[in-house]
Amino acid sequence: MSQSRTALVTGATAGIGAAFARHLAKAGYDLTIVARDEARLAETAERLAGEHGVAVKPVTADLVTDDGRAGVQELLRAGQIDLLVNNAGMSLNTPFLRSTTEGEERLLALNVHAVMALTLAALPGMVERRAGAVVNVSSVAGFGAGMPGSTYPASKAWVTNFSESVGLSVRPFGVRVMALCPGYVRTEFHDRAGINTSGTPDWLWLDADAVVADGMADLRKGKYVSVPTWKYKLAAFGLKHLPRPLIQRVARDTRGRIGRNDPQV
């Protein structure tokens, strides 16, 4: 009997992380799901196991902290994980000039340090087995400075470039690393950060399950960077290739329309 495929998903109780957990459970993966809310995590694990007949292990951890990251790193080193999904992330509803060192360090700890640490914990075993994959959830925002005053795009620029660089280095060993870069996705993410999205047109919003399905299809195709839907592929192209003064002007105009509750301001 062949061994079940296994996956570890961070931030697995809401949004894109929950969509990954659903997608992978439906595909027959045994799961380790990581989040901070112990009660919600246990409920999610029970539901996924009941609906899909897979083993689901809930792990309560705050990846902002050294101890939280260390515990999940140890799980990755000790177990045979076929797929790691680094989904957990945060934004700050505070422009940089009104931010604090503590707040910015929390953002970097989750968006950057946790991604680096967990990827590094998972990859040696994958390389040794000549199989495995890592998906790092980034953002189309990382392709340019389109959110004046917000350091979130800078953190996601790191995730995308890190994923592509590391992906190139491990591909000869049969291992894949990919950055998934969606745009606006209907999740709890913006509400948790206190970000006002009332000015965001409906047509810009994406469905989390569709984002995950597109991302997994791109992973199977061997892509290093996945940008779901044509509209965000176009946005990513523009952020990378249009003249910088034009991008900066559009960003300033957008800030004025969205209002002062947005982290861009």
- Report, as residue numbers or ranges, the catalytic residues: 152
DSSP string, 181-227: ---SBSSSHHHHHT---TTS-GGG-B-HHHHHHHHHHHHHHT-SEE-
Amino acid present at 260: R
CA distance 110 to 104: 10
**Residue 61 exposed, middle or buried by CB count within 10 Å (0-12, 13-18, 19+):** buried
Residue 40 CB contacts under 8 Å (≥ 6 apart), including other chains: 13
CA distance 152 to 99: 12
Q: How far apart, in Å, do the first and last CA atoms of the chain sit?
A: 57
CA distance 142 to 153: 4
CA distance 189 to 195: 9
Instruction: Provide Rg for the chain, Cα atoms.
Output: 18
